[in-house]
Structure 1
Amino acid sequence: MAFIQTDTFTLRGYECDAFGRMSIPALMNLMQESANRNAVAYGIGIADLVSRGFGWMLMRFNLRMHEYPRYGQTVQLQTYPTLVEKYFIHRDFRLLADDGTLLGEATSTWLVFSIEKRAMVPMPDFIRSLSVPAGIDPQPKLPAKPAFQTTPWQPTDEKLVTVGWFSIDQNHHVNNVAYVQWLLEAMDNETLQTREIAEIDLVYRTESHWNDQLRVQSALEAPDTFLHRIEQQESGKDVLLARSRWR
């Protein structure tokens, strides 16, 4: 069986920013919820993996916003797997207005890890055997190592974060959306108040856990583009690398 997950949401106040636009963390949380529901339909949900000693981990995520929905607006969110490989599964998302207008789209790359070893493993057979929906138009696969991952740069802004209990998910590591919220909260006031994100591209590098100390860094790459890094304060290991484009 192949499944396209379609969910309808009416935007609530806490899912919007100070200007009434849907916030990026809120959108990513809804995308994650729809992805979870789709995974359950396929028999590869969180509980299905945990019972076999595995967990899901997001490795790559790219989101492009064409138009922001606003408070009280009803939107439709679609998600489905597009390709299953030996080590990765690829998933797309589409955000639609109630008249069918494409508001935003995202593509992502996920891996499976061993809960015991906390290390990536080949995609288990019960996931490899799933069928992707017919008739879809998949977005291009994200490069595993985008150019910005190796671009040398020095941070001009830095903020320290202590991982709190409510940033931890069922896999017992920081939820992927929490990193994005910290990244955005560390942006300068003028950018947050006068611009909106057109695109954000994320590379998740390693886990972090409750009470970890993280360093959130950013620097201007071009007039409308920023580079971002979140690293473990103690070890200096990269946790997240990102590039954001604003308009």
Structure 2
Amino acid sequence: MAFIQTDTFTLRGYECDAFGRMSIPALMNLMQESANRNAIDYGIGIADLAQKGVGWMLMRFCLRIHQYPRYGDTIQLMTYPTTVDKYFIHRDFRVLATDGTLLADARSTWLVFSMEKRSMVPLPDFIRQLSPPANVDPLPALPLKPDFQTASFATAASKSVQVGWLNIDQNQHVNNVAYVQWLLEGVDSEIVQTREIAEIDLVYRTESHWHDWLSVQSVTETDNSVLHRISQTESGKDVLLARSRWR
């Protein structure tokens, strides 16, 4: 069977920023919640995978905000898988206002990793056999290697953060939304106070764990875009690379 997850949320104060707009981390958390519910309906939820010794890991995520919902607004969030191949499952999200206006959309690419070896494995057959909905118009698939992966961070501003217990999810690594909050906190204060994000494009490279120290860097790319990098302080390995676009 094919399932489209549809959830309705009314925005609470702690989900909004200093200007009353829904925050990016709050929106991503709701998207993740709806994706979890949809995965459970398909029989591929976190618990289903854990029984087989594997877990979900987000590899790519691109969020576009067309119009920000605000405190007290009610939104409808829809999500569904679009395609499944040997190593990846692709999932779309759409956020609508009560009048049907498209507020935001997102594309994502997920992989499965071995809980024991902490390394990527092919999607198990029980995942590859699922049926994506046929009556949806999928967004274009994300490139696995976007151009900003090769950007230089030689002149980037940098700060250090340590992974806390509340940053860890059920897969025993840092939740993907925690990284986004850290990288947004690293953006120049004038941009944060005078602009708003139109798009954020993310590449997750490896996992990090409780007590790890991470280096968070950002560098201006153009008048309207900022590049981001989060790396492991000790090894120097990239954990996350991203580009944010501002208006």
Q: Residue 42 in 1 paired to residue 21 in 2?
A: no
Distance 1:73 1:159 in 2: 35
Displacement of 1:175 after TM fit?
0.1
Partner of 1:104: 104
Distance 1:142 1:154 in 2: 27
Displacement of 1:152 after TM fit?
2.7
User: After the TM superposition, which segments of 4 or more aligned residues of structure 1 sit over 4 Å from their partners?
Assistant: none
Partner of 1:202: 202
TM-score of the two chains, using structure 1 as the length reference: 0.99
Structure 1 unaligned segments of length 5 or more: list them.
none
Partner of 2:188: 188
Displacement of 1:156 after TM fit?
2.7
Displacement of 1:54 after TM fit?
0.6
8 Å contact 2:163–2:214 — kept in the other structure?
yes
Paired residues for 1:29-68 under 5 Å: 29-68=29-68
Deviations 1:157-199 (A, max 9, x none): 1111000000000000000000000000111111111010000
Distance 2:50 2:8 in 1: 28
8 Å contact 1:155–1:217 — kept in the other structure?
no
Q: Which amino acid aligns with 1:162?
A: Q
Partner of 2:214: 214
Deviations 1:51-76 (A, max 9, x none): 01010000000000000000000000
Partner of 1:71: 71
Aligned-residue Cα RMSD (Å) equals 0.6
Distance 1:36 1:235 in 2: 32
Displacement of 1:155 after TM fit?
3.7
Paired residues for 1:1-247 under 5 Å: 1-247=1-247
8 Å contact 1:5–1:35 — kept in the other structure?
yes
SS in 2 for 1:3: coil
Displacement of 1:153 after TM fit?
3.6
The 3 A distance-change label for structure 1 pair 132 and 182 is same
> Number of residues paired by the alignment?
247
8 Å contact 2:153–2:217 — kept in the other structure?
no
Distance 2:152 2:238 in 1: 13
Distance 2:155 2:58 in 1: 25
Displacement of 1:81 after TM fit?
0.1
